[in-house]
Structure 1
Amino acid sequence: MKKIIYILSIAGILASCENKPKVSQTIQGKTEREEIAVVGKIAGRIDKILISEGALVKKGDTLAILEIPEVDAKKSQAQGAVKSAQAQYDMSVHGATANQLAQLYAKKSALVEQYEFAKKSLARMNAMVKDSLVPQQQYDEVFAKYQGAKSQMIAVDAEIADVKNGVRIEQQTMALGQKDRAQGALEEVQVAEKERYIIAPQDMKIESITLKLGELALPGYTLFKGSLNNSIYFRFTIPESQLANYAEGKEINVHIPYKNRDIKGKIRNIKQIGAYANIATAYPDYEVQDALYEILIDPINIQQANDILSKTTVTLKP
């Protein structure tokens, strides 16, 4: 009995040794796609979601709309500031209105009358003070009124000249600067308003939607995850001892077990990897001293591979 058990054990060991080379001839890998994340730039609540998981979208398609009440309030403020600044600038360029100019002419007319009266009064006082008919104090009072009327008339002439010629160029420049600043604030709000629309940056397939209606989307938070169209490739991990079987640019057949079909591909890149988390092969058969290398294979006909699901297992033979 012991002899029979011993013979069976030897047979099992030999069988496992015979099977090992067959397993090692098959290298497992994974199907990969270039992934992309769509994030928001400003905070807002999800108001509408316009697509569903699994949808194929084009670059520029609207994926979702955010509700941002703060932007609407700031937009109204910015529009009011632009109107006010524009009015200030227009007034500085065009000067006084026709009604303001008419008021200044009426003011000048009254001052001219006062000036002429003071001038005549001073002329009479000159003769009377020479004959000592009036005291010097009274003459000085009339002379002061004459000088005051003359100064007021000169001032109103200068005021009329200012409104005819417009305000100083420095004031116009200051008004223009205020207008530009208000316009810049409005443009900033308009840019923020566009950010309420979450737009697809590239042609892609939506893999997952992270938020639901009414939830708060913070700046930089991933709202949609997807994969780029026509970006499928296959990733394998091989030991250094098998590198001789592969070279960049070499055409090779990749087998898709769950579809039971082969796809012809071309090796795009071979690079050494150091992180075991990146190993694509489930149980790579290699010696301890062997370095590990990653092989990336692109399908020659991308259309034949687009229906393969991501992260599915694929195999190849050297």
Structure 2
Amino acid sequence: MTEHRDDLGDENTSTEPTADLKAEPTEHSTDGYQRAHLKSKNAKKKALIKKVGIALAVVVVLGVIAYGLFKSNQHSEPQVTTFQGQMQMQQTSIAAKVPGRIAKIFVTEGDVIEAGDQLIEMDSPEINAKVNQARAAKQAAQSQLEKAENGARPQEIAQARAAWQANKAAADLAASTYKRVNRLYQEGLMTQQRRDEAYTKYLATQDETEAARLQYDLALEGTRSEDESAAAAQVSQADAALEEALAAKDEANLVSPISGIVDDVIVNVGEVVGQGVPLLTLVDNDDQWVVLNVTEDYLNYFTIGQEFTGTIPALTSPSSEQPYTMQFRVYTSSVLSDFATWRPTNNDDGFDVRTFEIKARPTDPDSRVRSGMSVLIKMDTTQSTSQLTKSTE
């Protein structure tokens, strides 16, 4: 039994070193594996850093190329400048030339009217009284003129002739009486006083006969030309007064002087208005133009006669839903006041830049356009004026 334990002990003694020998190589192999793993990890990390660096370099190169292409395209693309203008239309204010009370208003805002259409009727009793007075004065003057032109009536001529004949008979009787009394006076049968009385009566009847004859001649000849001229002048004066009164009455019934659209009705029925007070405003939709302000460095693009295209955002094209465009032609340009001048703050900023007001009419006016609508003009300011002229032609 002892030997057996010894053997076992020997076996145990002999086996323990073997176990130690087996464990020692395992530790060495683990350390190697870790070192290999670290080397592999470092290698992968270096490869990843290398790839990232290459990618960054590629991105930088591509960015530089893209920036160069962008700058080259930016220089090659046209430089578009937008100008904003405003549509305007001819406005006409209708005012009363005579005072009165508004009786009727025949139009409303937005109505399309023609020249000669009645707009407002005014009630003025003073004007009606003046018309009646002028007509009565004309009738009186006309009667005087007719009397002067027609002369004396036949009855008046016969009456004047009868008076002349009666005075002539009385004058003949007075002459015969004077002759008899004078003969008796010479014979001493009649007193001198009786003779003088007969002579005085003879002279008086002679004068009365001559006056009657002149009245008869005047009746035959008719009215003098001067009297006829004076009567005709009175008729003309009465006609002028009547025309003035009728003109005032016509002005009380206001009519439109132009064709267009009623833009604003200022008064109401029943109001009393004075002379020269505006009552309503009309606009002529055929007389349109656009107004825009540009600095003088862009003035060469808006010379007289130059044409350009403008967009009116408030309107749409009849054939599509796109904004409506119109063709305009410049007809005038004028410099604005000094307050619209841009002035540099120092000498390095350049010179003063004046602002000009440009007006252009549409080549084909549109009745849908209203005053105040905005007009946008986009223009390639890199083109020269000659290129613009060729493009418009």
What TM-score comes out, normalization by structure 1 length?
A: 0.81
SS at match of 2:109: coil
SS at match of 1:258: strand
Aligned equivalent of 2:357: 294
Match of 1:214 among 270, 276, 282: 270
In the TM superposition, residue 159 of structure 1 has moved relative to its aligned partner by 0.5
Aligned equivalent of 1:313: 374
Deviation digits for residues 186-216 of structure 1 (CA, Å, limit 9, x no counterpart): 2222222221221211111110011111222
Give the whole-Å Cα distance in 1 for the aligned partners of 2:301 and 2:146: 79
In the TM superposition, residue 47 of structure 1 has moved relative to its aligned partner by 1.6
Give the whole-Å Cα distance in 2 for the aligned partners of 1:50 and 1:177: 41
Answering whether residue 214 of structure 2 is matched by residue 151 of structure 1, we say: no
Change in 2 beyond 3 A, CA 1:148/1:51: same
After the TM superposition, which residues 67-216 of structure 1 pair with which residues of structure 2 at under 5 Å, given as runs?
Answer: 67-216=123-272
In the TM superposition, residue 60 of structure 1 has moved relative to its aligned partner by 1.5
In the TM superposition, residue 161 of structure 1 has moved relative to its aligned partner by 0.4
In the TM superposition, residue 294 of structure 1 has moved relative to its aligned partner by 2.0
Deviation digits for residues 34-63 of structure 1 (CA, Å, limit 9, x no counterpart): 222122222222121111111111112111
In the TM superposition, residue 115 of structure 1 has moved relative to its aligned partner by 2.3
Alignment size in residue pairs: 286
Deviation digits for residues 76-125 of structure 1 (CA, Å, limit 9, x no counterpart): 22222122112222222332222322332332343233223322222221
Aligned equivalent of 1:274: 337
SS at match of 1:231: strand
Give the whole-Å Cα distance in 2 for the aligned partners of 1:265 and 1:38: 32
SS at match of 1:34: strand
Change in 2 beyond 3 A, CA 1:130/1:270: closer
Change in 2 beyond 3 A, CA 1:309/1:121: closer
In the TM superposition, residue 244 of structure 1 has moved relative to its aligned partner by 4.2
Aligned equivalent of 1:21: none
Give the whole-Å Cα distance in 2 for the aligned partners of 1:142 and 1:245: 115
Change in 2 beyond 3 A, CA 1:309/1:105: closer
What letter matches 1:272 in structure 2? V
Change in 2 beyond 3 A, CA 1:168/1:314: closer
Give the whole-Å Cα distance in 2 for the aligned partners of 1:294 and 1:179: 57
Contact 1:267-1:295 at 8 Å conserved across structures: no
Q: Which runs of 5+ in 2 are unaligned?
A: 1-79, 316-321, 341-348, 380-393
Contact 1:263-1:299 at 8 Å conserved across structures: no
Change in 2 beyond 3 A, CA 1:145/1:29: same
Contact 1:251-1:264 at 8 Å conserved across structures: no
What letter matches 1:191 in structure 2? A
After the TM superposition, which residues 18-29 of structure 1 pair with which residues of structure 2 at under 5 Å, given as runs?
Answer: 25-29=81-85
Give the whole-Å Cα distance in 2 for the aligned partners of 1:316 and 1:117: 113
What is the Cα-based RMSD across aligned positions, in Å?
2.5
SS at match of 1:146: helix
Give the whole-Å Cα distance in 1 for the aligned partners of 2:274 and 2:182: 87
Give the percent of matched residue pairs that are identical in Structure 1 and Structure 2: 25
SS at match of 1:228: strand
What letter matches 2:141 in structure 1? A
Give the whole-Å Cα distance in 2 for the aligned partners of 1:74 and 1:47: 19
Give the whole-Å Cα distance in 2 for the aligned partners of 1:128 and 1:158: 35
What TM-score comes out, normalization by structure 2 length?
A: 0.67
Give the whole-Å Cα distance in 1 for the aligned partners of 2:375 and 2:306: 18
In the TM superposition, residue 144 of structure 1 has moved relative to its aligned partner by 1.0
Contact 2:89-2:370 at 8 Å conserved across structures: no
Match of 1:262 among 324, 339, 349: 324
Name the structure where helix makes up a greater proportion of residues: 2
Contact 1:88-1:175 at 8 Å conserved across structures: yes
In the TM superposition, residue 136 of structure 1 has moved relative to its aligned partner by 0.8
Give the whole-Å Cα distance in 2 for the aligned partners of 1:252 and 1:127: 123
SS at match of 1:117: helix
Deviation digits for residues 116-172 of structure 1 (CA, Å, limit 9, x no counterpart): 332222222122111101111111111111111121111101110001101333222
Largest Rg, 1 or 2: 2
Give the whole-Å Cα distance in 2 for the aligned partners of 1:149 and 1:126: 17
Structure with the bigger RCO (C-alpha within 8 Å, sep 6+) is 1
Give the whole-Å Cα distance in 1 for the aligned partners of 2:177 and 2:300: 122
Match of 1:236 among 278, 287, 292: 292
Give the whole-Å Cα distance in 1 for the aligned partners of 2:232 and 2:282: 47
